[in-house]
Chain A
Amino acid sequence: MNATMEKPRVRLVMNEKDMDALPNKEIVYKTSELNLWYGENHALKNIDLDIYENEVTAIIGPSGCGKSTYIKTLNRMIELVPSVKTSGKIEYRGRNIFDKSYEVEELRTRVGMVFQKPNPFPKSIYENVAYGPKIHGIKDKKVLNQIVEESLKGAAIWDEVKDRLHENAFGLSGGQQQRLCIARCLAIEPDVILMDEPTSALDPISTLKVEELVQKLKKEFSIIIVTHNMQQAARISDKTAFFLNGEVIEFTNTDKIFSNPADKRTEDYITGRFG
């Protein structure tokens, strides 16, 4: 085991052939030598990942491999866990998010997040979507109405809720709640959307709807999605990163990782030999 640990670290970037498929895409997130500890537990080890804009990047791996930890580090939600320590750099659009001068609220206004379980606020559907714009100072009723409508349309739930915008969001089904949470996230027009296993609590039909939505949204947003479900990663993502024990084992085009993985461990995982 130690022999493999000590091999010279290679930056996991696209090789030349893959790169020219995306000529003018910019890097949204550049992670360099990221390490993260929960107390004594070394949860992320020397992560290097470049995430490009207007793509869906899937993060797969067995439970406890650090994939959720990683995505929560991207908008610094991980800091809600008191014992967390980090080292290394994550540059979002060229700026290190761990800089003292980087306000976490500013980062999270640019980077939205959808959670594992739908977590609407106990407010009306309208208020859920309008919450983000409101706290950022948008008060004009007409503007808000438009934002709410556009966001709900963007999240493909408008037709289902347009007649009951002022009813409590908890009256919606789980799948609808999750799309409402996506709408809530779209309402502040983020640049990146982080999705932490967004369909794991949903039934297959709702899952399909969310997947279709992700496909549609990637035209305008960069999406990073953590998923337990390898078929889902294969269906919806452009690139896939395989995490194992806090390390990135392989990161490349989704087509390639599922058809011709470079690492034996990746192959074992996606063929279902473990995890």
Chain B
Amino acid sequence: MALQKTTNSFSVQELIQKKKEKKSSNLQVERIIPFLLLVTAIVSVLTTLGIVLTLFAETITFFTKVPIQEFLTAQKWYPFSETQGSFGILPLVAGTLKVSIIAAFVAVPIGLASAIFLSEYASDRTRRIIKPILEVLAGIPTIVYGFFALTFVTPLLREMIPSLEIFNALSPGIVIGIMITPMIASLSEDAMSSVPNSMREGALALGSTKFEVAIKVVLPAAISGIIASIVLAISRAIGETMIVAVAGGSTPNLSWDVTSSIQTMTAYIVQVSQGDAGYGTTIYYSIYAVGFTLFLFTLGMNLLAQFISRRFREEY
């Protein structure tokens, strides 16, 4: 196979030379582009930093008005009471946790089961149809889910549990669960699909059934991705606002009762933002303190997800 000159009537090298002259201006662009990209990256980082700093500064101001011990330990959240106002974050945290835990109970089993089905059982065709549908579900505006909770799920639940209040933790919890299920399903499916087939073959060749392969080989091998997806989904549940604002009510209470009206951290922020809390009042600053607490929660969850996916990564 000796290399032969082409029989073209033109020389490719000459063409390249000709184009090169035009290219010199492109070289300038080539040099500027990394700089431009860096600037945009810095802008987004600075914006985030700015938000966190504002949040932090206003939170500090809040703590000059309300002692931090009261904020962390008081059992009541009565910000609107003139005479005996009480700013204990716990009832709001309880509301958020109740809703998030219910959501996790709904989303984790359903999401994992769908992920196992999609990655281990579904044919390529089925997977190609179902996965995009799951991702569309994740794109439904949350206000739609909120009204779905209030006008459909709550009445349905009230037929089963007559003592259920119109605003409660159960209904938005379930609906948030429905909302984050596709996220768990999709991310867990990615994690499970990336487990090499050779491992499945190894297990099948030992006489495992398909289900044993899924549960005992694929699931453990993908566990870091799966846990990370669950943690991220729960962190979304914690930060979820519209569903709880619409269907959860506005009565902060520190109890594990899921049938009565609650208020989550996010719903409180919505309530105050819509109302007429004057600038500089304690209530005004309280939304920053609540927001900061919320930020710490979701930040913690995200760090946890990162830690888990590094710590439990199984090399293959």
Interfacial residues, chain A to chain B (CB-CB below 8 A): 75, 77, 80, 82, 105-109, 112-113, 115, 117, 119-123, 131-132, 134-136, 168, 170, 181, 184-185, 188
A136 touching B207, Cβ below 8 Å: yes
In-complex Cβ contact of B207 among A82, A135, A181 (8 A): A135
Q: How large is the interface on B (under 10, 10 to 19, 20 to 34, 35 or more residues)?
A: 20 to 34
Residue B203 lies at the interface, judged by CB distance under 8 Å to chain A: yes
B220 touching A122, Cβ below 8 Å: yes
**Chain A's nearest CB lies how many Å from the CB of B210?**
9
10 A-B pairs with the lowest CB-CB distances in the bound complex, closest first: A109-B207, A122-B314, A119-B198, A113-B205, A108-B207, A132-B206, A119-B202, A105-B207, A170-B315, A122-B221
24 intermolecular pairs with C-beta atoms under 8 Å apart: A80-B201, A106-B207, A107-B207, A108-B205, A113-B205, A115-B201, A115-B205, A119-B198, A119-B201, A121-B202, A121-B203, A122-B220, A122-B221, A122-B315, A122-B316, A131-B216, A132-B206, A135-B206, A135-B208, A135-B212, A136-B207, A170-B315, A170-B316, A185-B206
- 0/1 interface trace, chain B 176-207, chain A, CB 8 Å (1 if under): 00000000000000000000101101111111
CA–CA, A132 to B203, complex, Å? 8
Chain A residues, CB < 8 A from B203: 121, 131
Residue B64 lies at the interface, judged by CB distance under 8 Å to chain A: no
- 0/1 interface trace, chain B 200-233, chain A, CB 8 Å (1 if under): 0111111111001000110011000000000000
A115 touching B198, Cβ below 8 Å: yes
**Chain B's nearest CB lies how many Å from the CB of A74?**
11
CA–CA, A109 to B209, complex, Å? 11
Closest to B222 in A: A122
**Chain A's nearest CB lies how many Å from the CB of B127?**
13
Chain A residues, CB < 8 A from B212: 135
CA–CA, A105 to B207, complex, Å? 4
B202 touching A184, Cβ below 8 Å: yes
CA–CA, A123 to B222, complex, Å? 12
Known: A115-B198, A122-B314, A135-B216. A75 touches B205 (CB 8 A): yes
Chain B residues, CB < 8 A from A121: 199, 202-203, 217, 220-221
Chain B residues, CB < 8 A from A109: 206-207
**Chain A's nearest CB lies how many Å from the CB of B197?**
8
Chain A residues, CB < 8 A from B205: 75, 77, 108, 112-113, 115, 185
A108 touching B206, Cβ below 8 Å: yes
Closest to B200 in A: A80
Closest to B123 in A: A82
Chain B residues, CB < 8 A from A113: 205
**Chain B's nearest CB lies how many Å from the CB of A198?**
13
In-complex Cβ contact of B206 among A82, A122, A168, A188 (8 A): A188
CA–CA, A84 to B143, complex, Å? 49
A132 touching B207, Cβ below 8 Å: yes
Chain A residues, CB < 8 A from B123: 82
Determine which residue in A106, A107, A121, A188 has the highest number of CB atoms from chain B within 10 A of its CB, and name it: A121
Chain A residues, CB < 8 A from B216: 131, 134-135
B314 touching A131, Cβ below 8 Å: no
Closest to B197 in A: A80
Chain A residues, CB < 8 A from B314: 122-123, 168, 170
* Residues of chain B in range 81-133 having any CB-CB distance to chain A below 8 Å: 123
Chain A residues, CB < 8 A from B207: 105-109, 132, 135-136, 188
A184 touching B206, Cβ below 8 Å: yes
CA–CA, A28 to B264, complex, Å? 69
CA–CA, A119 to B203, complex, Å? 9
Closest to B205 in A: A113
Chain B residues, CB < 8 A from A115: 198, 201-202, 205
Closest to A132 in B: B206
Determine which residue in B205, B315, B316 has the highest number of CB atoms from chain A within 10 A of its CB, and name it: B205
**Chain B's nearest CB lies how many Å from the CB of A81?**
11
Given A77-B201, A119-B196, A134-B216, 6 additional A-B pairs, CB 8 A: A82-B123, A106-B207, A121-B217, A122-B221, A132-B206, A135-B208
B209 touching A105, Cβ below 8 Å: yes
- 0/1 interface trace, chain B 290-316, chain A, CB 8 Å (1 if under): 000000000000000000000000111
